[in-house]
Amino acid sequence: MAAQETVEHKYVYDFAEGNKDLKDLLGGKGANLAEMTNLGLPVPPGFTITTEACKAYLTTGREPDGLAAQIEAHLESLEREMGRKLGDPQDPLLVSVRSGAKFSMPGMMETVLNVGLNDRSVVGLSAQAGGNDRFAWDSYRRLIQMFGKTVCEVPGEEFEHALDDAKRAKGTQNDLDLDADDLRGLVDAYKKIFAKHTGREFPQEPREQLDLAIRAVFESWNAERAVVYRRQERIPADLGTAVNVVAMVFGNLGADSGTGVAFTRDPASGAQGIYGDYLANAQGEDVVAGIRNTVPLQELEQLDKKSYDELLDYMARLEEHYKDLCDIEFTIERGKLWMLQTRVGKRTAAAAFVIAGQLVDEGLIDLDEALHRVNGAQLAQLMFPRFQLDHEFQPVAKGIGASPGAASGKVVFTSARAVELAAEGESVILVRRETNPDDLSGMIAAKGILTSRGGKTSHAAVVARGMGKTCVSGADELEVNVPAKRFTVAGQTVNEGDVVSIDGTTGKVYLGEVPVMPSEVVQYFEGSLDPEHIDNPLVRAVHRIMTHADATRRLRVRTNADTGADAARARRFGAEGIGLCRTEHMFLGDRRELVERLILASTDEERQTALAALLPLQRDDFVEIFREMDGLPVTVRLIDPPLHEFLPPLEQLAVNVAVAQERGEDVAKEEALLAAVRRMHEENPMLGLRGVRLGLVIPGLFAMQVRAIAEAAVAVTRDGGSACPEIMVPLVGAVQELETVRAEAEKIIAEVVGDSGVEVLIGTMIEVPRAALTAGQIAEAAQFFSFGTNDLTQMGWGFSRDDVEGAFFWRYLELGIFGISPFESIDRDGVGRLVRIAADEGRAARPGLKLGVCGEHGGDPESVHFFHEVGLDYVSCSPFRVPVARLEAGRAVLTTTGSDSR
């Protein structure tokens, strides 16, 4: 960046200068504070330092030129507006310094409150608070604690221990029993801790406090827990955080003060109403940290009717303005309500659908917008099963249903143990008194989270909802003893390793493993719930939005299915054809022996006998599938894997033969088998004799399959049904391979089909990079392409698809080489480019060439958007992902830049 540009660059915005659409620059919190300010809501004055300033700091290790002066100017205007000066010994202005990235990352980055207090201004603060010495010293000790921990990395427990010592000396367990003198003593103790760990005194200069706090917020963007969270939530690593400097208001000035969190609708179920928590005489962090138990927001009506009514009015205005569920943080300072934050609130998958449906009913949004606001990941979550409860299972405790779902697993008490056991393949439930950001990796590893403290807005609840993980919070009948690795409830002791089940919808906790039942959404897709006639708001909303997605989408959705049963289920889920019928499983089971005969055949005659025996079996397989699909297109792929996969493993066979020889038994057959296995052994079977290569090397193999397909189609048609087969040749890299197979196949098809009216298409997979790069030539011989993105990724990256994810992807993810495995979500730039080239060049050579995808990516939401953009005709995925693909194909029409509703 040129020098003169940085001088003029605007890094600081007053709240009145921003708006909600400036999230990239001001972060979510800053943009929304600006929006509320402009709506005339009571927001404490302040300013926002941009994400660009953060990025510049993180790149160069120092604040960009001009930032300090701009902060000074905005601070001065804040001081003028408040009529107070930062650090003034008589009447000090205090500010909070808060992070705020474009996407909310709850509790992941830093906040410092009460900046501006020092040994002198603490006296002024007391005077300002009507001689409330206790409040002033409590605020000061909080500053030293937060500043020490977040800015100077002083271990937080040291402060906790000093606080515990003070309470013990006083003979109490409650912070509120400490008086001004106790807190003054605590400030001294905190300062000593600070000096011991940092080698310097606690900074008395308010501007230095402010600058260091801002810097700490910038740096917290790269704190480990923030990095882990971003990876989990797929938030880009290069956005940076904004910093909000806001005039402090106090919820801890007495019984007429307090702080709370409110939702305009229930973020768990989507139900309309007033939801939230309130905590009297406390500062905001106390609520989010779940340290003290809150009361339901409705109780505020009794405590402070005026503020309650005012809050309800603002909540209605915000919802109307944002046209969505809003969550709000507020503080009441001596009967005066202040709005500290709002944002479009996080919600569970069920609530996302229900709320989108409600907002359409209320005329606030249209169906396109409703479709845009839900996503395939949420739909997939709703297809999880739930607990099946009968009288046998009685809950032992009831907490708050903080994030729905049903989870059973072994109890663990620490994040580290959760990670350890999960790595061994165990399902675990992480049980804590309350969670904090350090528990993040354990929360990711666990199937569910159970806490004995905290409300719907505690850290555990917010983070679990964001991850779509089952969570019960505030189950206060549980006595959790983390060091002893046990909890007690209802007179029973549960130790680490015992199994519990938690229901994140009802908040109930059960001992032992509770069986599960399918979701209503799956029942609806299966056709057993009629959306018009049941009183289930979720099913009605899903039905409505899915119907709109189907009407909107251009991409067709097929399924990958190899059996009649899978095909039938996929059709109920809305599949419009089969995009990949893998034929290899048809060579297993009791057909193995025939396959062995085929492989071992030493003469043409022996081979033909084996193939002739396989033919009717294959034909029956296809008849069953064609019948189920009833005239919808069915892409049958000729056999792909290497033949040795159908034979016993080399080592085992060698040992058997040696032992039998030793015993003097007749081993001629086994020896022949062993010789064949040896002959076929390959160092890199994935790059060896498979797919079309096999068809060209084993005479008659593909011909048998082609005949079985054509005969099955004719049989179904003659029976009055209809069949629409598409024969697909795998692993083609050169047009000559396809031409050779096609010439033989066409002869057989013409012979079998005769005048039956059956039409059989012949096409190819595009899954070898060379095929993608020569797609123009290949299209001359292919009536359709189907992208095999599994192999295309394997060969495009040179990654063994069976090994690398377990072997080293964790490191690649850690280093940010990619944000998600390219086997899970299409690598747009590399493998995606191969797809694009092949699609364009294929269509140029053969206009109207049918294009589809049948690799795993066909059911991945992000990838579906990509395939829509590239202009494919259909995606094909496993039956369970068909609804997800339908939904995302609809959303892709609305937003062709990828799913962005986070």
Identity of the residue, 724 or 765, whose beta carbon is nearer to ligand PEP in the bound complex = 765
Q: Helices 592-600 and 604-629 meet at what angle, rounded to 10?
A: 140
Chosen from ligand PEP, Mg ion, none, partner binding at 580 (C-beta under 5 to 8 Å by type):
ligand PEP
Instruction: Determine the residue with CB nearest Mg ion.
Output: 791
* Min separation Cβ 636 and ligand PEP, Å: 13
Identity of the residue, 15 or 702, whose beta carbon is nearer to ligand PEP in the bound complex = 702
Number of residues that bind Mg ion (CB under 5 A): 3
Position of tokens 């039905």? 543
User: Hey, how many other C-beta atoms are within 10 angstroms of the C-beta on 305?
Assistant: 10
What is the rounded (10 degree) CA torsion for 253, 255, 259, 263? -160
Chosen from Mg ion, ligand PEP, none, partner binding at 854 (C-beta under 5 to 8 Å by type):
ligand PEP
Distance CA 246, CA 69 (A): 18
Residue 354 in contact with residue 270, Cβ under 8 Å?
A: yes
Distance CA 404, CA 548 (A): 26
Interacting residues with Mg ion between 730 and 769 (CB under 5 A)? 767
295 forms bridges with which residues in the sheet?
278
Q: Which part of the chain contacts Mg ion (CB under 5 A), choosing from 122-130, 583-591, 609-617, 788-796? A: 788-796
DSSP string, 692-718: HHHHHHSTTHHHHHHHHHHHHHHHHHH
* Min separation Cβ 843 and ligand PEP, Å: 20
Identity of the residue, 562 or 791, whose beta carbon is nearer to Mg ion in the bound complex = 791
* Min separation Cβ 49 and Mg ion, Å: 51
* Min separation Cβ 688 and Mg ion, Å: 13
* Min separation Cβ 742 and Mg ion, Å: 19
Q: Which part of the chain contacts Mg ion (CB under 5 A), choosing from 176-184, 235-243, 790-798, 836-844? A: 790-798
Identity of the residue, 92 or 859, whose beta carbon is nearer to ligand PEP in the bound complex = 859
DSSP string, 209-248: HHHHHHHHHHHHTTSHHHHHHHHHHT--TT--EEEEEEE-
617 forms bridges with which residues in the sheet?
none
Identity of the residue, 690 or 891, whose beta carbon is nearer to ligand PEP in the bound complex = 690
* Min separation Cβ 793 and ligand PEP, Å: 8
DSSP string, 297-363: GGGHHHH-HHHHHHHHHHHHHHHHHHTS-EEEEEEEETTEEEEEEEEEPP--HHHHHHHHHHHHHTT
Identity of the residue, 379 or 778, whose beta carbon is nearer to Mg ion in the bound complex = 778
Query: Closest Cα to residue 680, out of 646, 639, 729?
Result: 646
Of 74, 372, 459, 868, catalytic? 459
Distance CA 279, CA 264 (A): 18
User: Hey, how many other C-beta atoms are within 10 angstroms of the C-beta on 817?
Assistant: 9
Please write down the HEC assignment for all residues of 354-398: HHHHHHHHCCCCCHHHHHHCCCHHHHHHHCCCEECCCCCCCCCEE
Identity of the residue, 44 or 788, whose beta carbon is nearer to Mg ion in the bound complex = 788
Q: Does 63 bind Mg ion (CB under 5 A)?
A: no
The residue type of 478 is L
Helix, strand, coil % over all residues of the chain, rounded to 5: 50, 15, 35
Residue 206 in contact with residue 175, Cβ under 8 Å?
A: no
Structure tokens at 601: 């055949």
Identity of the residue, 503 or 791, whose beta carbon is nearer to ligand PEP in the bound complex = 791
Chosen from Mg ion, ligand PEP, none, partner binding at 582 (C-beta under 5 to 8 Å by type):
ligand PEP
Distance CA 902, CA 897 (A): 14
332 forms bridges with which residues in the sheet?
258, 337
Residue 772 in contact with residue 835, Cβ under 8 Å?
A: yes
Distance CA 258, CA 303 (A): 10
Residue 603 in contact with residue 656, Cβ under 8 Å?
A: no
* Min separation Cβ 582 and ligand PEP, Å: 6
Identity of the residue, 124 or 788, whose beta carbon is nearer to ligand PEP in the bound complex = 788
Q: Residue 38: CB partners within 8 Å, gap ≥ 6?
A: 16, 19
Q: Which residues bind ligand PEP (CB under 6 A)?
A: 580, 582, 640, 767, 788-791, 854-855
Identity of the residue, 216 or 595, whose beta carbon is nearer to ligand PEP in the bound complex = 595
Active site residue 459: yes
Identity of the residue, 229 or 787, whose beta carbon is nearer to ligand PEP in the bound complex = 787
Residue 97 in contact with residue 116, Cβ under 8 Å?
A: no
**CA Rg value for the chain:** 33
818 forms bridges with which residues in the sheet?
none
Query: Closest Cα to residue 473, out of 447, 505, 441?
Result: 505
Residue 635 in contact with residue 788, Cβ under 8 Å?
A: no
Q: In what order do the strands lie in the sheet with 336-344?
A: 295-296, 272-280, 258-265, 326-333, 336-344
Chosen from ligand PEP, Mg ion, none, partner binding at 63 (C-beta under 5 to 8 Å by type):
none
Residue 110, classed as helix, strand or coil, is: coil
Identity of the residue, 329 or 562, whose beta carbon is nearer to Mg ion in the bound complex = 562
Identity of the residue, 421 or 561, whose beta carbon is nearer to Mg ion in the bound complex = 561
Of 724, 854, 857, 865, catalytic? 854
Q: Select from 791, 841, 862, 888 the one that contacts Mg ion (CB under 5 A).
A: 791
DSSP 8-state code for residue 857: G
- Give the phi and the psi of residue 207 in degrees, each rounded to 5: -70, -35
Encode burial over 93-104: b for 16+ CB neighbours within 10 A, e otherwise: bbbbbbbbbbbb
Distance CA 272, CA 266 (A): 6
Q: Select from 46, 788, 859, 883 the one that contacts Mg ion (CB under 5 A).
A: 788
* Min separation Cβ 828 and ligand PEP, Å: 16
* Min separation Cβ 730 and ligand PEP, Å: 7
Interacting residues with Mg ion between 339 and 398 (CB under 5 A)? none
Instruction: Report the largest interatomic distance among the alpha carbons of the chain, rounded to a whole angstrom.
Output: 106
Active site residue 854: yes
Q: Which part of the chain contacts Mg ion (CB under 5 A), choosing from 356-364, 474-482, 781-789, 823-831? A: 781-789
Contact residues for Mg ion (CB under 5 A)? 767, 788, 791
- The set of catalytic residues is 459, 854
